[in-house]
Amino acid sequence: MPQNLAQKIIAAHLREGVARPGQEIALSIDQTLPQDATGTLAALEFEALGLPRVRTEVSVSYVDHNLLQTDFKNPDDHRFLRSMAARHGLWFSPPGNGICHQLHLLNFGRPGATLLGSDSHTPHGGGLAMLAMGAGGLDVAAAMAGYPFYLSCPAVLGVRLTGQLSPWIGPKDVILELLSRLSVKGGLGYVLEYFGPGVEALSVTQRAAICNMGAELGATASLFPSDGQTLAFLEAQGRGQVYTPLAADPGAAYDRIEEIDLASLEPLVACPSSPDQVRPVSELGQVAVEQVIVGSCGGGAYEDLMTLALALKGRRIAPGVNLYVNPGSRQALAQAAAAGGLMLLLEAGASIFQAGCLGCIGMSQAPATGTASLRTFPRNFPGRSGTKDDAVYLCGPQVAAATALAGHLADPRELGQPLVIPPAPPVRPEALVPPLADGSGVEILRGPNIAPFPQLEALPESLACTVVLKVGDNITTDHIMPAGSQILPLRSNVPAISRHVFAALDPQFASKAQDSAPVAVLGGENYGQGSSREHAALAPRYLGVQVKIAKSFARIHRANLVNFGIVPLVLANPADYDWLEAGQTVELPGLRQAILEGREEIAATAQGRPLPLVLKASPRERRILAAGGLLNLIKGSL
């Protein structure tokens, strides 16, 4: 029977289960990708397993998020990660070397491999025909220890591309078009697989940029085939030997199909404050913009930098506009410099920052109060920039260039002749540190901000949980566990970072939760969308949150809740959301027994009224919940 590409890779890595959509499966993981904002905790979790060395083909510890060294916390974490990598057999990428997803694509990705990263934009690797998936750090730590990755087998949404991109149109416009159709939850339960005659002309960099923002659709992963473009990319990186052709079989079926005529696309912009609030830039009028940033994992490659540079050639940015450039990697910056692009950017008035995530996670580059910011980033959730009540627009480098020159949202097609991007010069400044053959003698360097991993208790027989917070639809992990320069450095200190849980929605949440534990949180649809940050599950659990009740959950966050022993319950009757309120107590008698017996219907009451709840969980997930978390379960099996 003909198979699509996703089915082929899943079949080649299937360790447990039947690859049928909705069924739990376990996949062997070839490569892992922790980054510093999530990687410090993942390293502590791996250390807690007591293994001397990682058991993957390749594992790389990247430092790209917590780059500001305003005190000892971040540099201490960087030393810790470097020493952990040396001791346990990981590659190490130091601060300033670049963003994990771009670096991994350039240096380690290979067609047909599985990649698990503790960052939600790990699907970037799908541009190289990898099944690249984001997950919580604990899942990544388990994969580094040789355990398979468990997930609900995704369906496959085929995206058939026809035609070719017109001048001044880029890959960001492709994925924004898809977001405008499907919304931020339209990809839940799917792998997005791109195929069709329009694929052939897209470079690997363009493909990766499209896959990158598949995370904003809620998709498990995104995939392009491995073909001549793939071979050319790998050969340019000196890695042609890892190339293998991979594509869907002729006649392969998909569970659903979307079609996009690339030639019909026009420049698009995602308006504040969600990636699916997409409009053609031509319809938005002259919205004044004071800040433009080109960069991020999905917008800081060589092609992006040169698109901006050549569009600005011989011109100056508008008065009052701050144009920032965040290279995705040292390599991209060096290549742009060798091609003459760096001088063009400087002459136009741009400011060049180090290679890293920076403003995408609120790590500097916050916009001024009451001003609009235009960014080539993947996310514009409210307040993510670091400025409350921000107005962040998302776009490709083409729209960014036109806007920086005009001082307001502008259509790049008005800039004139199409750009011709020169081939990337063969320069690759190396900063990666390879693993030691034997790191057993390496001392792990720990700073005072690195706290031991908290002990989590097993689930009690029954629970009576006070609802301490009620929230609405599409609550993001930024709402639950904010990022930013003040909070990110606390990622290795769970007691400290837990004080910031839900701080933007209820500054007293941490105190209320600890005082009333055990407690519950009530949410609407798509609860927990966005980042893979497991702190959005672990920190609430540390505070005493044992149950989350919602209309529906985002994939990665739900998995993280299970991993840390928080029971994710879905309202059997969504209308019950309307009468449930903060301050009420939800009684869950016999919860542990119900979970272990495999019951989907969980009996509960609140305010003396029946509250039917649903737990759709695999036998393995039920054992994790009963144990109080995945780490407890794994340690109990060693």
pLDDT tens for residues 9-28?
999 999 999 999 999 999 99
Same domain? 100 vs 66 = yes
CA-closest candidate to residue 278, choices 322, 219, 213: 213
CA dihedral 258, 262, 263, 269 (to 10 degrees): 100
pLDDT confidence tier of residue 636, bands split at 50, 70 and 90: low
pLDDT digits (tens, 9 = 90+) for 270-302: 999 999 999 999 999 999 999 999 999 999 999
Any domain includes 598? yes
- Give me the chain's average pLDDT, please: 95
Residue-level pLDDT at 48: 84
Spatial distance between the Cα atoms of 121 and 461, rounded to a whole number of angstroms: 38
| Cβ–Cβ < 8 Å for 528, 568 | no
User: Position of tokens 């649809």?
Assistant: 525
pLDDT confidence tier of residue 507, bands split at 50, 70 and 90: very high
Same domain? 251 vs 300 = no
Any domain includes 534? yes
Does residue 119 have a pLDDT over 80?
A: yes
Any domain includes 445? no
Comparing 337 with 447, the larger pLDDT belongs to 337
Does residue 311 have a pLDDT over 70?
A: yes
Any domain includes 452? no
Same domain? 343 vs 400 = yes
Any domain includes 439? no
Same domain? 139 vs 56 = yes
| Amino acid at position 269, single letter | V
Query: In whole angstroms, how far apart are CA 524 and each of 527, 554, 562, 574, 576?
Result: 6, 11, 18, 9, 11
Q: Which two tokens stand for residue 21?
A: 């959509």
CATH of the domain at 353: 3.30.499.10
Does residue 128 have a pLDDT over 60?
A: yes
| Cβ–Cβ < 8 Å for 275, 213 | yes
Any domain includes 163? yes
What average pLDDT score do residues 544-564 get?
94
Residue-level pLDDT at 634: 82
Domain housing 283 = 268-415
pLDDT confidence tier of residue 485, bands split at 50, 70 and 90: confident
Does residue 166 have a pLDDT over 70?
A: yes
| Cβ–Cβ < 8 Å for 494, 538 | yes
The secondary structure of 163-198 as a DSSP string is S-PPTT--HHHHHHHHHHHH-TTTTTTEEEEEESGG
What average pLDDT score do residues 94-122 get?
97
Most confident residue range from 38-42, 115-119, 363-367, 448-452? 115-119
Last residue of a domain, one of 386, 415, 444: 415
CB atoms within 10 A of CB 362: 23
Return the percentage of the chain with pLDDT > 70, whole number. Answer: 100
What average pLDDT score do residues 456-461 get?
94
pLDDT confidence tier of residue 637, bands split at 50, 70 and 90: low
Residue-level pLDDT at 19: 96
Same domain? 499 vs 609 = yes
CB atoms within 10 A of CB 506: 17
Same domain? 497 vs 515 = yes
What average pLDDT score do residues 97-118 get?
97
Return the percentage of the chain with pLDDT > 90, whole number. Answer: 86
Spatial distance between the Cα atoms of 514 and 544, rounded to a whole number of angstroms: 6
Q: Which two tokens stand for residue 83?
A: 């020493």
CA-closest candidate to residue 366, choices 383, 344, 348: 383
Last residue of a domain, one of 398, 415, 432: 415
Residue-level pLDDT at 290: 97
pLDDT digits (tens, 9 = 90+) for 613-634: 999 999 999 999 999 999 888 8
User: Position of tokens 């601060």?
Assistant: 95
Same domain? 197 vs 281 = no
Any domain includes 427? no
Domain count, the chain: 3
What average pLDDT score do residues 370-378 get?
96
Same domain? 410 vs 530 = no
Same domain? 48 vs 74 = yes
Q: Which two tokens stand for residue 181?
A: 């159709």
Q: Which two tokens stand for residue 500?
A: 């910031």
Any domain includes 424? no
Same domain? 208 vs 238 = yes
Last residue of a domain, one of 240, 264, 288: 264
Same domain? 290 vs 373 = yes
Q: Which two tokens stand for residue 149?
A: 């990755």
Same domain? 367 vs 484 = no
pLDDT digits (tens, 9 = 90+) for 47-87: 888 899 999 999 999 999 988 888 888 899 999 999 999 99
Residue-level pLDDT at 67: 87
